[in-house]
Chain A
């Protein structure tokens, strides 16, 4: 009797061991983690009380994400998402320290382009190129999350556009038509100046604001072909197209507030929100704060305007962040399920509506007219933001050199040609297309 019991127990243990071993083998022969034992059942894997921690640099988005993740949790029983936001300025150090200490979360909000690539190149991130839904994304957006090895490591989260916002009320009050060419924009600015309204609420105390302004007006001067030529190394920054784009910054200077290099973006934004200024150039992510300042503010968007009537205006766009899974996470399978959810139109829609941002997920439509017009303009004529995407590298990085040189130009420390020369010299030192 005792012997029979032993045999039964041995058989049960053996069977269990075989079962565990069989379940533990994934397609590539690897071993799945204990916590996130994936079992195929329809399209969704089942998980047993798995908590995924997500790091973010957006504490202000915590409530919005709670609603989105509640919906995800309802669709994926067994997975709980813990959103852990940190101050944006400390975030990179916190993530790097956590990665090095091996105490990271399961998913991180990763910086796009070069700064994200630094992390993926160190082997901390899980390649997710095979994730369903990613193939629908625009290739240009996927470049933001591609490592040096060509693998995809993140799901692009939001699009930023550099835009010229105009105050509809101020334009109507002064009978100024919304410009469609660069010349018309300067004429409109002149008209506002004559009538005692600040044409453009521009701040310049922080140099990065100036490269943003350049991004908002430059594509009209150089167009998408110039970007392709730069990327292929066929031309460089001494080309007349680039000089023309910097010339636009010179053209705008008379229409900025007096002493604009000494004023902060908060002050400039305030001027625009209360109607003291007709236009305000910045990222589209300033739309929500502007509405907080003045809920009645009616705004419109002017893209980078062409020189000639008949040509199209273009929006300068770049990917602002992504979500990526950590390769050594114990819950990597569950993390992949959440990342896959982030590629869906449902997530893109919820994200766009919760945060008044533009989602890179194709087909997202929002009720907000202004944001919807941004989405449409992006679809019609979006161009990559050259400095934010390609030239945020080198030491000191070329984007930083450029924006500080613009500031130097505005305080009469540099001439326009010296700005061009600064950019060319900085890019020559490291930018790959210029190394050939």
Chain B
């Protein structure tokens, strides 16, 4: 005997993600989900971003890692409140699921924040699958990775709203074809905005910061 079910497997995650989204809206917090491979420079990017935006906006960070608090310690030096989530407590997951983010945001006073940055676990596959209630998804790709990462991991580049191409200060030393990388990104996600920058030297940082400022202002205003 066949029983029809027709239910999305990730419904439970989506329900909690929508609750997170409602909370961010109620408290006028612009929430971004930052994803990448390990070693793309996410933490350096976020350190500099927090420092640069600190005079204008109040930001908080949720840091997801399988283990260690190394990134959280680095980001906390910016003065922003940081909550570390180690997914080994949740079975060593390769991504942050919505319920994990929900318990992390319980530890913030959301009324005191304009921006919440969620630094996802370093992985270009699984985090793309899980909605966590964010306003925007950001993928960080560095020029020390292959040009063809976007076509190797298309779901990630398809679901993200913007891409950051990091470590451009290294281009003179690398045999890296940045035009090919950009073409691959646009092959997967036509028209996707790309911010080419160096988190280390802060070259090219303004476009990225302006995108964040606009997002925050839209959310605060709304």
- Are A and B bound to each other? no
Interface residues of B (CB under 8 A from A): none
Interface residues of A (CB under 8 A from B): none
